[in-house]
Amino acid sequence: MTKIGSVFTSVGQKALLLGSGELGKEVTIELQRYGVEVVACDKYAGAPAMQVAHRCYVFNMLDGDELKRIVKHEKPDFIIPEVEAIATPVLVEFEKEGFNVIPTANAAFLTMNREGIRRLAAEKLGIKTSDYRFASDKNEFISAVKELGIPCVVKPVMSSSGHGQSVIKTPEDIDSAWIEAQEGGRAGAGKVIVEGFVNFDYEITLLTVRGVSGTVFCEPIGHIQKDGDYRESWQPQPMTDSALEQAQIIAKSVTDALGGYGIFGVELFVKGDEVIFSEVSPRPHDTGMVTMISQDLSEFALHTRALLKLPVPSIEFYGPSASRAIVVEGNTDKIEMDCLEKVLEEPGVQIRIFGKPEVRGHRRMGVILAKDTTLENARAKAERAYNKLKINIL
């Protein structure tokens, strides 16, 4: 039986959140709905989840010694990784000591590094992926590009939200792609993955929930990326019954291999009825923010239920929905979201402002959500609302 006692007492439940961005903020809120004490951690002060958590710590989560110190001090019931840049070998140690790492320490370890999850899917599970090579230095990188051919995609093995990712379209792009990958890695310069270009019709995120009720799936989410970063998503992505069945089989195979309870964002390429595995995140996914308006249980609510070992008997889908990321460019800690009354003047529109303290370069600072009777109408409504927003850089 699942029991949650009074907060701040010996019978209460405590979660240590490793990563406190906009996704972690929503997880924090959902955990607190169940009376769970939340301690938020990130590398900078004032991160979104820290603004709603009970307590917080600021440190580099790649620092294994500091991570050990905080876990030993807090003694959490749940350790919840919300970003890739964590000293994952330490998580493996914690799990051996009896700590509950969500969904598992091995899942966090394998998915932090694109090499781990790609080898699991392609080489151990026999799932179709794009052709790929790993390169530890520039000479290996150049050889990999030559073997796979141009165009090809380059990514650091450790990064997220598209950081360090680029497409080599001509030989002149090779040098800049290497530099981009080295500068964009979460853990600094290092190994990269070079992927053969996949000719696909569209790509999806299939949110897959592993819990006490078994494995359940959300409606497939389509999305658009720019420079490797999500800018727009919608639900449901139209696809054939055959393709959806294949996607669910692949997602279940990968998530079963990773194990544990929680939500997984499984990224897949689709060409007709053919489905090709791309990546997986063992946590809520940025494209899944659309579920905050499209479903009775958002991806954050589903993640929380699963990790607390509470049942998910069903997921009610409300209908065609869309999200539009608010990306701000500049160099400031003073930003105003203006004309909000215009943004929200149509029915079926919502906005989330993440509360990030500053932007240096470009940064996702909010999201607009919309629902309507058709997918086309929902996407158009989200775009109209976005175009009404005025961003003041002060």
Q: What is the pLDDT of residue 161?
A: 59
26 an active-site residue? no
- What is the DSSP code string of 31-44? HHHTT-EEEEEESS
pLDDT at 48: 98
* 172 has catalytic annotation: no
Which of the residues 283, 324, 352, 364 is marked catalytic?
A: 364
What's the sign of the alpha-carbon dihedral 241, 226, 264, 152? positive
Cis amide prior to 236 (ω within 30 degrees) = yes
Query: Which entry of 28, 88, 104, 160 is annotated as an active-site residue?
Result: 160
Give the burial class of 115: count Cβ atoms within 10 A of its Cβ; 0-12 exposed, 13-18 middle, 19 or more buried. middle
Verify whether residue 279 is a known catalytic residue: yes
Please confirm, yes or no, whether 299 is among the known catalytic residues: no
The phi, psi pair for 124, rounded to 5°, reads -95, -40
Say what the pLDDT of residue 381 is: 98
- Predicted local distance difference test score (pLDDT) of residue 313: 92
Residue tagged active-site, from 279, 281, 283, 379: 279
- Structure confidence at residue 158 (pLDDT): 76
* Residue 170 is a catalytic residue: no
Question: Which pLDDT score, from 0 to 100, does residue 157 have?
Answer: 84
Length of the chain: 394
Helices within the chain (DSSP H only): 22-33, 64-74, 88-96, 105-112, 114-119, 138-148, 174-184, 241-258, 291-294, 299-307, 340-343, 375-388
- Which residue among 203, 286, 299, 372 is the active-site one? 286
Residues of the chain falling short of pLDDT 70: 159-162, 184-189, 227-228
Paired sense of beta strands 321-332 and 229-235, if any: antiparallel
